[in-house]
Amino acid sequence: MGSKRGTLQVVSDILTFCSEPRCKTWIMYGNNMSYRMTRFYLKELISRGILVKKWSAFKDGFGL
């Protein structure tokens, strides 16, 4: 049986995935996370200055 990912693994997956700016939906689907979980981790990473919210003409993106 599979095991659940820990916090460190989830953060690592998000940061690896966001090496190029990505929108919230792509982060959620690319890391196989729920919307609630995605919002929680993005908020935490942004508040700690690890992830930066970037804006474009059409949508928000998140990157390192």
Q: The domain containing residue 27 runs over which residues? A: 7-63
pTM over 0.85? The answer is: no
Q: Which residue(s) pair with 62 in the sheet? A: 22, 53
| Count of domains forming the chain | 1
Q: Is the pLDDT of residue 36 over 80?
A: yes
Whether the CB-CB separation of 7 and 22 falls below 8 Å is answered with no
- The reply to whether 1 falls in a domain is no
- The reply to whether 38 falls in a domain is yes
Whether the CB-CB separation of 31 and 13 falls below 8 Å is answered with yes
pLDDT 10s digits, 15-29: 999 888 888 899 999
- Return contacts of 49-58, CB within 8 angstroms, 24+ apart: 50/15, 51/14, 51/15, 51/18, 54/21
User: What is the per-residue pLDDT for 60?
Assistant: 66
Whether the CB-CB separation of 42 and 50 falls below 8 Å is answered with no
**What CATH number does the domain containing 42 carry?**
1.10.10.10
